[in-house]
């Protein structure tokens, strides 16, 4: 019997990082890198200019009976810096902003509740600046961006930037990993 999947769309900096993180979670059936937040289909080169309105994003297809949207949100918030406006590490510009593109009122409410909880608990030293916006569109990234980490584990960026994020994921959410 096929499960009833749901879709989540997040932007948390470079989509190579976020794709690698969410691919490892139980209940996640697919993670697709792409662009969301803008109005038209653009290439990586155009999005990289920071003028398209898009953020490097991922679409997560998941089974809510195995992993809830709220659990995905917690992983999202704990594996990038949601207090950094238009910047993640060395990646700078609005295309690297922290954003949640919600697909339903329930997703919007969940995102706002998690942000309030993390703020109230003072989990971060600075205010959370994650954008919470209604999902408009998603355009898949070019083929060479898909499954990037798994295909390029020895690349410098993967070693220096993605590996520490995966180590943090394993430490914080080890029981949730495939």
- Residue 160 in any domain: the answer is yes
Nearest to 76 by CA among 90, 65, 62: 62
- Residue 55 in any domain: the answer is yes
Q: In this structure, what CATH number is given to the domain that contains residue 16?
A: 3.30.1060.10
Cβ atoms within 10 Å, residue 37: 24
- Residue 1 in any domain: the answer is no
Asked if residue 154 has pLDDT above 60, the reply is yes
Burial category of 116 from C-beta neighbours within 10 Å (exposed 0-12, middle 13-18, buried 19 and up):
exposed
Which tokens is 6 given? 């749901």
Asked if residue 4 has pLDDT above 90, the reply is no
Residue of 8, 9, 10, 14 marked catalytic = 14
- Residue 17 in any domain: the answer is yes
Confidence bin at 151 (pLDDT 50/70/90) = very high
Q: Catalytic site residue 14?
A: yes
Question: CB-hemisphere CA count at 13 Å for 174?
Answer: 3
CA angle 116-117-121, nearest 5°? 115
5-60 pLDDT, tens digit each = 999 999 999 999 999 999 999 999 999 999 999 999 999 999 999 999 999 999 99
Give me the domain span that covers residue 153: 6-176
Looking at the 3D structure of the chain, how many domains does it have?
A: 1
**Dist. CA 176–CA 41, nearest whole Å:** 34
């Amino acid at each position: 019997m096929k499960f009833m999947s749901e879709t989540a769309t997040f932007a948390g900096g470079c989509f190579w990082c976020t794709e690698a993180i969410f691919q490892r979670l139980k209940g996640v059936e697919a993670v697709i890198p792409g662009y969301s937040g803008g109005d038209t289909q653009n290439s990586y080169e155009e999005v990289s200019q920071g003028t398209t309105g898009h953020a490097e994003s991922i679409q997560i297809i998941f089974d809510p009976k195995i992993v809830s949207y709220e659990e995905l949100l917690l992983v999202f918030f704990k594996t990038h810096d949601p207090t950094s406006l238009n910047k993640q590490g060395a990646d700078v510009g609005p295309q690297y902003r922290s954003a949640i593109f919600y697909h339903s009122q329930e997703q919007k409410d969940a995102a706002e509740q998690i942000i309030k909880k993390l703020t109230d608990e003072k989990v971060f030293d600075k205010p959370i600046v994650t954008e919470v916006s209604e999902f408009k569109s998603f355009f898949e990234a070019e083929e060479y961006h898909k499954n990037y980490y798994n295909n390029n584990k020895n690349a410098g960026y993967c070693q220096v930037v993605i590996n520490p994020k995966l180590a943090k994921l394993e430490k914080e959410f080890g029981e949730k990993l495939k």
